[in-house]
Amino acid sequence: MTPAPIYIAATGIISPLGRGLAATEQALWAHRSAIVPLQIFPLLQAGPLPVGQISDLAPHPSLPRTHQLAREAAQMAMQGCTEPPDAIILGCTTGGILTTEQLLRDKSCDRQAYGYHGLLSVARDVAEACGCPGPALMLSTACSSSAVALALAMSLLREGRMRRILAGGVDSLSRLTYFGFHSLQLVDRNGCRPFDLFRQGTTVAEGAAMLLLTTERPESPLAVLLGAGLSCDAYHPAAPHPEGRGALAAMQAALADACLPPSAVDYISLHGTGTRDNDTSEAKAIRTLFPSPPPLSSIKGAMGHSLGAAGAIEAVVSGLVVSRGFLPGNAGCDHVDPALGLEPQIMPKGRPVRTVLSNSFGFGGNNGALVIGREDMLAPDTSRPPKKPLAIHGCACLTGAGLMPDTLARLRAGGRAAGMPAMELLGPGLPPRFIRRAKRLTRLSLQLAASITDATPGMEKPSAIFMGTGWGSLTETCDFLTKLDESAEQFPSPTDFVGSVHNSPASQIAILLGATGANVTLSGGDYSFEQALLAADSLLEDSGRSALLLSADEGHARLSPLLDPSVDRNSPLADGGGALYVNRDRRNARCLVRLPFYGRGAEGDLMERLIETLGGPENTAEDFAAVFAGIPAGTAAQGDRQLADFRRLTGGRIPVCRYRDFLGQFASASAVAAVLAVAYLKEGMIPGALLDGDDLRFEDGRKILVLGTGNFLTAMEFSRP
C-alpha cells in the first residue's frame, strides 16, 4: 500500500503573536516578544509573573477560554471549506479548568455550569461547529499533546480510514498551570530565554492552532506533513532524560517515517522551553543525531510555552517557514550557553527551506517529532503493507468487586461489581517508590499494569502504552486547587501539579515497565477506551512490538458528581478500569479486536450506518452472540433510543447486556466491558445473570459487540483468532 501525501490544506492560528498566518509571520520577522505580566485573572499574592496571553479575547457568557480559542482557530482553518472534516483530533491539557477553578472557589453546585470542564468537551464543541460526523478525539500528553494529535491524524489518513481531518491543539492560561509551573521553580521572571546562558525557566502561555490535513491535493497547500515519531523517556514524571534518549528516539523515528536522512533537514524548530534541563537534554539529542546541526531556533522566547497547543502552533510556523522561506529568530537568547554546543539562529533570516524537523517534549517523557516540508521532498516510494488486526494476549480489570478473578466470580454469581476497589488492592507487589506519593488514579493504573503482567506468563514487556481516562487525576487536581486556595496562593503542591496532568498515570506505567515507545493518553469521556483503541490500532507498529492498552477513572466524592453527568450524587461512587496486552501476532492470541465504527451521536441514519459497517442487519444478527451496551446515565434517553434502534434493525435476536447496570457509572466502564468480552469469548459462555436469562453458550465463530451510545456511537468487535 502506497499512502497518499498528507497536505496541509489550511490553517488557523491564534497566539500571543497575533491571529492568522499573516500576523504570525509579521511578528516573527519583527523579532518581538509578546510576553507580558499576567492580566487575565487576579492574584492574591505578589506581582504577576510574565506570561504569553491573548489580551483581546472577549469573555464569553458560557464558553470557557480554551473552547473560545479552539473554536476561533477552527473557524479560520475551515473558512471557505464546503465539506466538513471526517474527524477532529486535538491536543490539550487544560480543558475548561479556568472556569472550573472559579466555580469551585464560588462553591457552585450547579452541575450544568461544569459542563465544559472535560477535555472532550473542547473537541466535541469544535466537531459540532464544523459539522463533523466522525470521531472527536482528545489527546493529552502534556506539552507534546498536539504534536501527537497530528501524528495520529497523519496515520489515520495514510491508512485510508479518512480523507480530511482537522487536527491541532489548544490551551488557555489557568491557575493550575500558572501556579503549577511556578511551584516547580520552572518559571523565569525575566521571560523565556531558550538556550541562553542565564536562562532560569519557561513562560507559560496560551493559544490554539488547527491544521486541515487531507490526502486530496488542494490548489495551494501550505506544506506537506512528511513524517512523525513518538517515544517515551520512561525516566521521570517531570524531568527529561539527561542524555536526551527519548528526544533522540522521536527525531530518529520521525525522519525514518519520512524516509529522509538527517542531512535532509534544513531547519529544526526546537522545543526550547528555556528550562535548564530541557534545553540541555534537547541539545544533547540534536548533537547526537546531527554531526553538523542545521539552523535551529525556538519561538517560545517570543510567545511563551503554550503547553498542549505548542506542537500545533509550531507546526503551523514550520509550514510558514517552508512556504515563505525564512528562519525564525531565537528571541530571548542574548548570551548563548556554550555548554550546549549549539548556535541558535538569533535573528530572523530569509532562506529557502525544504524540510523542517519540529520537536515537542512533555512531562512524563512524552515526546513527539514532526517532519514538515515541501511537496518535492516526498519519498518516491513510501509503500507500507496493510496492518494486521490487533491481537489480545492478556487482560486484567479492577472493579468494586476487586481484581479480575473476583469480578468474574461476582458477576457469575449474579451480583454487581459496582463500587470502588479498596485502596489496599492498589499497590501490593508494586515498588514502594511508585506508590509512596501516588494517589488513586495512578494507583489504579499501575495495579492494572502489574496485574496484566502477572496474568500473562512469558509476556515481553510492552514497548508502547495507550491509555484512556475520562476525567484524569481528580484527587491531585482537587488537592492542588484546595491547597492553593487555603494558602492564599502561597503554597501550591508541586507533587500534586505533576500528578494532575492527564498523562501522569501512563507515564508512571512506562517508567515501571521500561516502555520507551509511543506513550499516548486520550481523554474521551465515556469513549476514552474506544479512543485509546483507535490510537493503538493506528499507531502500533506491525513489527512484533506489543502495547498495553488500558483505560481507568477514579471516583472522587467532591468532583465526580459535579463533572460527570452520569454520576448521581445520591448513589455510591464507582470506578476502576480494564487493560489489554496487544500486538499483531495471532498465534496463541485469546481474541482479535477492532473498532469498525465511531460516529457522532446525532439522530438519523447513524445506527443504520453502524450496522452496515458490521455487514448489514442479517449478518450482524448471525455473527454476534451478544451485545454489551454502554448506556451512560447522563445520556440515558438517547442511549435507550439508540439501543432500541439497534434491536429493531437486527430483529431483536441478539441478547443484550447493559453492562453499566453491573459495573456502575464511570467513564472507563467500557474498558471493563472489553475485558469481560475477552474472558467470555475464551469460555464460550456468558453468565445468564448479565443477560437476564439463562447462561448463553455459543460456538467458536460468534463474536461479541461492545456498543457505546450517547453523544457518540461506537462499536468494538471481539472475535476469536
Phi, psi of 110 (to 5 degrees): -80, 100
Give the closest residue to 325 by CA, choosing from 354, 299, 352. 352
Alpha-helical runs (H) found in 540-590: 560-563
Distance CA 557, CA 110 (A): 16
Give the closest residue to 73 by CA, choosing from 101, 100, 92, 86. 92
For residue 180, give the amino acid letter: G
Give the closest residue to 361 by CA, choosing from 247, 277, 254, 257. 247
Catalytic residue among 241, 271, 393, 502: 271
Q: Which residue's entry shows cell 491557575?
A: 175
Identify whether the C-beta of residue 392 lies closer than 8 Å to the C-beta of residue 590. yes
The strand ranges marked E within 446-501 are: 464-468
For residue 656, give the amino acid letter: V
Distance CA 296, CA 351 (A): 13
Give the closest residue to 116 by CA, choosing from 130, 105, 102. 102
Reduced to 3 states (helix: H, G, I; strand: E, B; else coil), residue 591 is strand
Cα–Cα–Cα angle for 270, 468, 246, nearest 5°?
A: 30
Reduced to 3 states (helix: H, G, I; strand: E, B; else coil), residue 574 is coil
Distance CA 370, CA 254 (A): 6
Catalytic residue among 92, 143, 478, 591: 143
3-state secondary structure labels for all residues of 626-689 = EEEEECCHHHHHHHHHHHHHHHHHCCCCCCEEECHHHHCCCCCHHHHHHHHHHHHHHHCEECHH
Phi, psi of 315 (to 5 degrees): -70, -40
255 to 64, 167, 228, 259, 373: CA distances (angstroms) = 38, 21, 7, 6, 12
* 143 noted as active-site residue: yes
Q: Which residue's entry shows cell 472557589?
A: 105
Q: How many other C-beta atoms lie within 10 A of the C-beta of residue 618?
A: 11
Catalytic residue among 305, 393, 502, 556: 305
Distance CA 659, CA 48 (A): 50
Distance CA 183, CA 207 (A): 22
The radius of gyration of the chain from alpha carbons, rounded to an integer in Å, stands at 24
Q: Hey, which residues are catalytic here?
A: 143, 271, 305
